[in-house]
Amino acid sequence: MKFLTLILLLATSILGAQTNRYIYELKLKMDSTEIEYQKSYMVLDIGQLDTKFYGRDLLVTDSLNNKFGNLDNRYVDMTGQIVKRKNGTSKNENFINIKFEYYSFITSDPITWNILRETKSENGYTLQKATGNFGGRKWIAWFNKDIPFNEGPYKFCGLPGLIFEIMDDKQNFIYKLVKNQNLKENISTESFVESNFGNKAIPINEQQKRKLLLNFYNDPFAFERESFKNNTDLKINIGGKEAHNIEELNTLVKSMQSIIRKYNNPLEIDKVIHYK
């Protein structure tokens, strides 16, 4: 697929904007043993006070709801990469969907960069190379010193210029800047970042997040299980497969657990949950 046309702002227009929006193509492997990538477009919004990173489909869904009068469309971002931080800091507020709830938790994510002399030209812009360690992975970044933001996709920030490209050395995660917009107003993300289309984020800590994910893995259909207890004639459809009783539901549980184990390749591999 050809990259979208890259349009970068002049310094004067950057300084005049309320929000500078950069779109990145993200290619990731949900299973590190696979060859194929899953592709997503991600949004980096750099405002006057804070920076946010999230899936573009969240923005599209919110725009449709606003355009057509709150049709209550919903979208769940499965990249696990929704973050918000104050400008100039490496302290991030993370947002995550677990089952039917939406949660937020705070992490401190400093990255020590090694800036190299190596440069390359990309679409007429000179990019400089840097390397760093984060999340248990080694990263290679290319940044542009002419764009006056020490920012980049996800939690990658702190370089003297905007990150255009970044990937880990195993190439499980690859980000490439493909487009930007100069927005004259502050952009509200309250309905799809700080909350998920009606579900306001519940503050937790990392230990609680880990416990919630383990609880979900141990019984991903706990709600449905309770429904069976109260109604023995119930039929439940999960992913196109019907369960008519607890035994059939247990079969679906094992199938879901297998999927969770298979696609367990988080960006921050040092925080991976080793499911049994």
How many other β-carbons are positioned within 10 Å of the β-carbon of residue 229? Answer: 9
Chain centroid, CA 157 distance in Å: 15
Q: Summarize the confidence of residues 137-154 as an average pLDDT.
A: 97
Residue 228 has a pLDDT of 80
Residues 213 and 242 in one domain: yes
Residues 132 and 234 in one domain: no
Residues 100 and 218 in one domain: no
Q: Summarize the confidence of residues 45-64 as an average pLDDT.
A: 94
Residues 145 and 241 in one domain: no
Over residues 20-44, the pLDDT tens digits come to: 999 999 999 999 999 999 999 999 9
Over residues 60-110, the pLDDT tens digits come to: 998 888 877 766 678 888 899 999 999 999 999 999 999 889 999 999 999
- Report whether pLDDT(10) > 90: no
pLDDT above 90 covers what percent of the chain? 70
Residue 2 has a pLDDT of 43
CA triplet 57, 62, 64: central angle to 5 degrees? 95
Q: Which residue carries 């109604």 as its tokens?
A: 231
80: containing domain: 11-199
Over residues 172-209, the pLDDT tens digits come to: 999 999 999 988 888 889 999 999 998 999 999 999 99
Among 199, 221, 239, give the residue marking a domain's end: 199
Residue 12 has a pLDDT of 41
Answer yes or no: is 4 within a domain. no
Residues 186 and 211 in one domain: no
Residue 248 has a pLDDT of 87
- Domains identified in the chain, total number: 2
Biggest distance spanned by C-alpha atoms of the chain: 69
Answer yes or no: is 161 within a domain. yes
Residues 92 and 28 in one domain: yes
Instruction: Tell me which of 227 and 57 has the higher pLDDT.
Output: 57
- Report whether pLDDT(238) > 50: yes
Tokens of 118: 């190596």
pTM: 0.90
